[in-house]
Chain A
Amino acid sequence: MREITLSQAVNEAIAEEMRRDPTVFLMGEDVAEAGTPFKVLSGLVEEFGTQRVIDTPISEPGFVGMAVGAAMTGARPIVDLMFGDFLYLVMDQLCNQAAKQHYMSGGKLTVPMVLRTNLGATRRSAAQHSQSLQALVAHIPGLKVAMPSSAYEAKGLMKTAIRDNNPVVIFEDKLMYQDKAPVPEEEYLIPFGEAHIKRAGRDITLIATSSMVQVAEKAAGLLAGEGIEAEVIDPRTIVPLDEASLIASVRKTSRAIVIDEGHQSYGVTAEIAARLNEKAFYHLDAPVLRMGAMDVPVPFSPALEDLTVPTPERVVAQARRLCAGELIHAA
């Protein structure tokens, strides 16, 4: 199978859906000729024109609000939020407006829009361009949240998001845009709420999102050398969450670490760990561990920044302790 980059995968997904459905359009800062700073959208304006690939002023609440209105009245906008950190700027439009219209109207209004943005630290971009804020939006009923872990998922999830009748936030890891993966030439979609077992194992489950799937896979490789067989599961969407697959895995392995690059406290890892405790408690041989980003603003200095995110080595260390029974009585 051919291999393409995550960036190309996103580009292909959007182009295919724009060809298929004339109501799909794209708007955001520098999305047209510039194709975004990451060049993910290069070439789209040449094919679809400036009517459907719209460069906006630097007005995030304004253009996200406009996407909500366009979606409520018959279009399918994809808004590009250049950095995930800018979510704080658009919270009212996303969480008070987009997320609630369907419910507040008793099911009459729908908001079929996609907000594509990114996450991920270690790009030496400091505290306001490095955050992973998926927990913020996953907390809001009415929003769906997708977190592709490779080019394959990026394409299939984007196409599903565009066809979904709800507001969907997609987080791409900005460090993965040039990572290649096998992606079929023929069309495919990835349904929301279906986790994918990346690697099967019997001793411990590593549940990981986005680029943390790579971290988990590397950790699983290292653990195999020590005789520990780790199962790696990617939920692919955290809303909806394929709870059943996660629970089934943990019932089998009886141990779990949940890895996500958002801040650890009150985060995605905490939510998943809580559900495992509620629904797989009697199958657990050890507490479910969370591994998120440290609860600090992302520092600039590489010497500090690299300490703040989960790494394969740290995952291995924790998995080893779990499997050895060291954490059973941990305070």
Chain B
Amino acid sequence: MADARKDNDVKTNAEDYLRMYRQMVRIRTFEDNANQLYLSAKMPGLTHMYSGEEAVAVGICEALTDDDRITSTHRGHGHCVAKGAAFKEMFCELLGKEEGYCRGKGGSMHIADQSHGNLGANAIVGGSMGIATGSALRAKLLGSDDVTVCFFGDGATAQGLMYEVMNMAALWKLPVIYACENNGYSEYTRTDEIAAGSITARAEAFGIEAHQVDGQDVLAVNALTRRLVERARKGEGPFFMELMTYRYHGHHVGDINREYYRSKEEEKDWKENRDPIIRFRAWLVAEGIASEAEIEAMNAAITEDAAQAVAHAEAAPYPDASEVDMHVYAD
């Protein structure tokens, strides 16, 4: 974090730092509650936890405005919260309730919140790369200065679509940033077993400037993203970021016995020594930006907020049966 702190581009406003912290804790808290909803059989289906990767979504989305767009993934709750979504509508969506962001039709893997520029999570690995790049093409064609960030995992680098759209983005200098969250695992398989060569070199082959950054350091992620967003707005894009991070849970909430592909020692090491929230909290206290007591109060408020949202979602009505064939076609 020392490097990021020295960076002149980093926001120097304490309020911004506290918001980043709060957003990371909100993501972790959201996921802890979602996991409980699954374990207590209150949530239909499965979900994919973002816990451990919070600094990536928050570092990036804090560098964006509501006009900037993102596309998200099946592991998308973090992106959604970081881009400005509210707990209540998110939990309602997870439970398939009418008040959800998608009126219960999308669920965990398809939450979209276009009012904050979130074009939606995508349950096809790498499936949103065309959408993100097309959003950037639209910005260029219509003379808008917004930037689109395409979130995807290391597993998605194995999809051919990525190479097709990076080629076009580079040819046409589109304002898109490809944000590869490398959490070390492609579902149940180690990334080094599915990806030959370097990840960043894939983008560099198209002449796209690529950066690797510590995805557990929210300030480093934010500083890099702010620089790249500013340049992308000026027509210097596209860019590529590889964010080195880690998912604390399995591929999804039901992937519990996973020692056949990942050791408990490795998980313990990341959680205890590289946790993005613990690290940033310590920095906030050391810098005198917040006291331990203030941070505890912030955490407690978020916990309470989540509990209320969960209770609301549990009590909320399901969509009426008449909605089943609604929204197939737009008027």
Measured CB to CB, the residues of A under 8 A from B are: 22-23, 25, 51-52, 56-57, 59, 61-75, 77, 92-93, 96-97, 101-110, 112, 141-142, 144, 165-166
By a CB distance below 8 angstroms, the chain A residues around B28 are: none
Closest to B319 in A: A106
Query: What's the minimum C-beta distance from B108 to chain A, rounded to whole angstroms?
Result: 12
Contacting pair A93 B112 (CB below 8 A): no
Q: How far is the CA of A106 from the CA of B106 in the complex (A)?
A: 7
| Listed A/B pairs (30) with beta-carbon separation below 8 Å | A23-B142, A57-B164, A57-B167, A62-B133, A65-B133, A65-B134, A66-B165, A68-B130, A69-B130, A69-B133, A69-B134, A70-B141, A72-B131, A73-B119, A73-B134, A73-B135, A73-B139, A97-B130, A102-B329, A102-B330, A105-B101, A105-B105, A105-B114, A105-B327, A106-B101, A106-B106, A107-B103, A142-B328, A165-B330, A165-B331
Q: How far is the CA of A74 from the CA of B128 in the complex (A)?
A: 17
Contacting pair A166 B329 (CB below 8 A): yes
By a CB distance below 8 angstroms, the chain B residues around A107 are: 103, 326-327, 330
Instruction: Indicate whether B59 reaches chain A with its CB closer than 8 angstroms.
Output: no
| B141-160 CB contacts (< 8 Å) to partner A | 141-142, 148, 160
Q: Which 3 A-B pairs have the closest CB atoms?
A: A65-B130, A69-B134, A62-B164
Q: How far is the CA of A60 from the CA of B129 in the complex (A)?
A: 13
Contacting pair B102 A105 (CB below 8 A): yes
Query: What's the minimum C-beta distance from A71 to chain B, rounded to whole angstroms?
Result: 8
Tally of A-B Cβ pairs under 8 angstroms? 149
Q: How far is the CA of A8 from the CA of B120 in the complex (A)?
A: 39
Contacting pair A104 B105 (CB below 8 A): yes
By a CB distance below 8 angstroms, the chain B residues around A105 are: 101-102, 105-106, 110, 112, 114, 120, 327
Query: What's the minimum C-beta distance from B133 to chain A, rounded to whole angstroms?
Result: 5
Among A66, A72, A104, point to the contact of B168 (Cβ < 8 A).
A66
Contacting pair A69 B330 (CB below 8 A): no
Contacting pair B137 A104 (CB below 8 A): no
Contacting pair A92 B124 (CB below 8 A): yes
By a CB distance below 8 angstroms, the chain A residues around B74 are: none
Query: What's the minimum C-beta distance from A67 to chain B, rounded to whole angstroms?
Result: 6
Q: How far is the CA of A72 from the CA of B114 in the complex (A)?
A: 10
Q: How far is the CA of A65 from the CA of B124 in the complex (A)?
A: 13
Contacting pair B141 A75 (CB below 8 A): yes
Knowing A65-B129, A70-B134 touch, does A59 contact B102 (C-beta < 8 A)? no
Q: How far is the CA of A249 from the CA of B69 in the complex (A)?
A: 50
